[in-house]
Structure 1
């Protein structure tokens, strides 16, 4: 079983920070051509700093992933640099709290636009290019792989993050739906739902609330927080030929956290 992504070209959104940045960097280190995409140009520059400004395998693109023009320009940037795209990892996420019953500060529309529609629209653009690339490819050739990064909020909604929870659940359903649409074209679409991963955001949260660490460990049967590379490894698997017969699936990487009854967890 080959898990190699060496020589493949990947677009990773949300790559300026956190989990997206970890996945993009992980892919470069394993020989992929990677376009780091994010709305924050300063964070993108920092994310690719370790690879050098002249690295032929790295490009960065700053733009709002919820805008069609930015999506089209991102694809153009990728094709100009590498002439093709084999992998798309939709990691871009926006998390905003709101009062669920206060319509004046409701974040539902913004969450759906940023966390659902941006990924779906980019998938549509990239899939069309993948299909075109495969027109003269051998019958056994795998056309492409798309992975959407989701959250436990998709299955276990958080009241103060209702918009984010709804958008996360919708993204997982979109993953399944697009998997069916694109299966005849040999494009696989899967998702990764994660639990507690030692991202930049979590590190910041633990500094502000040190007691959060004990709560996480107690609520995770494996008793630890995952390293960001462990999530990247799961994404690499889904993008590799080792997962060539896997599509429409949501892979949960949470150390067993979703298996645990939260009430029982307090009794352990």
Structure 2
């Protein structure tokens, strides 16, 4: 791909499993230095088992992305390991049901904090570092790229998942707002809205409700559920200089499902 990521440094949150892990591993394969970040230590250890401990391109960080201190410590750990950060992928998320007529405010706050505020705070912290890095090179290349993973629930509200839907609708608006703020610094902020993709959460849902698979496949014009790897190249495109004039956009990867979403229950 034109304008690849070889030699660049990326932070990928939610990298312990599922889509986040697939993105982080693909970035390593493409020659990037990658900080795998996740709140699940066991999942993170499993993800890191695929790499040589002495590999200088790979590091890991365990912490709750919803906590301010963890955000600051993650950036510090990345700078200690690689001296800079060029790419941020906010792929961590929390999937939890919430009743629109009887919403537990604690659950709603948790979903907003994890799925919107954590990524926004990480964006703010990393963007400040990217701005500082770009100050010495005002006329060369990209100042950085930030990619936020979203969900069809942001566009097509899921009645049984009120907090989840609201959080990602807010996250998408934050993506657009931060794109405007950071564009003068040559930092691009984009999102990827996905559905009918085999995430870790969807695997769990299908284990509990195997009949859901047929409903998703039927609702997807391309007639299948895509593996996580098929989402990765879209994220790579937005992270690299091939998309250097693209910012504030939410690209949809869903096999056409959002054209006529008929599932209406679970959008993960």
TM-score interval (norm. to shorter): over 0.9
In structure 1, the partner of 2:102 is 102
Aligned residues: 263
- Residue by residue over 1:161-193, the C-alpha shift from the partner in whole angstroms, topping out at 9 and shown as x without a partner, is 100100000000000000000000000000000
In structure 2, the partner of 1:66 is 66
Structure 2 Cα separation of the partners of residues 46 and 218 of structure 1: 34
In structure 1, the partner of 2:266 is none
In structure 2, the partner of 1:232 is 232
Mark the CA change 1:141 to 1:254 in structure 2 (over 3 Å): closer, same or farther. Answer: same
Structure 2 Cα separation of the partners of residues 206 and 102 of structure 1: 26
Structure 1 Cα separation of the partners of residues 105 and 66 of structure 2: 20
Structure 2 Cα separation of the partners of residues 17 and 64 of structure 1: 15
In structure 1, the partner of 2:120 is 120
In structure 2, the partner of 1:216 is 216
In structure 2, the partner of 1:266 is none
Q: SS at 1:230's partner residue?
A: helix
Q: SS at 1:131's partner residue?
A: helix
Structure 1 Cα separation of the partners of residues 216 and 163 of structure 2: 23
Structure 2 Cα separation of the partners of residues 185 and 138 of structure 1: 9
Alpha-carbon RMSD? 1.5
In structure 2, the partner of 1:24 is 24
In structure 1, the partner of 2:167 is 167
8 Å CA contact 1:94–1:115 kept in 2: the answer is yes
Deviation at 1:104, TM superposition (A): 4.1
Q: TM-score, normalization: structure 1? A: 0.94
Q: SS at 2:160's partner residue?
A: helix
Q: SS at 1:123's partner residue?
A: helix
Misfit runs of 4+, over 3 Å: 103-106
Deviation at 1:210, TM superposition (A): 2.4
Deviation at 1:203, TM superposition (A): 2.7
Structure 2 Cα separation of the partners of residues 94 and 53 of structure 1: 29
Structure 2 Cα separation of the partners of residues 145 and 188 of structure 1: 5
Mark the CA change 1:261 to 1:145 in structure 2 (over 3 Å): closer, same or farther. Answer: closer
Aligned pairs (5 A) from 1:131-210:
131-210=131-210
| Structure 1, unpaired ranges of 5+ | 264-268
Q: TM-score, normalization: structure 2? A: 0.94
Mark the CA change 1:261 to 1:85 in structure 2 (over 3 Å): closer, same or farther. Answer: closer
In structure 2, the partner of 1:34 is 34
Structure 1 Cα separation of the partners of residues 203 and 102 of structure 2: 31
- Residue by residue over 1:57-104, the C-alpha shift from the partner in whole angstroms, topping out at 9 and shown as x without a partner, is 111101111111111100000000000000000011011112222244
| Structure 2, unpaired ranges of 5+ | 264-268
8 Å CA contact 1:99–1:106 kept in 2: the answer is no
8 Å CA contact 2:95–2:201 kept in 1: the answer is no
Deviation at 1:106, TM superposition (A): 5.4
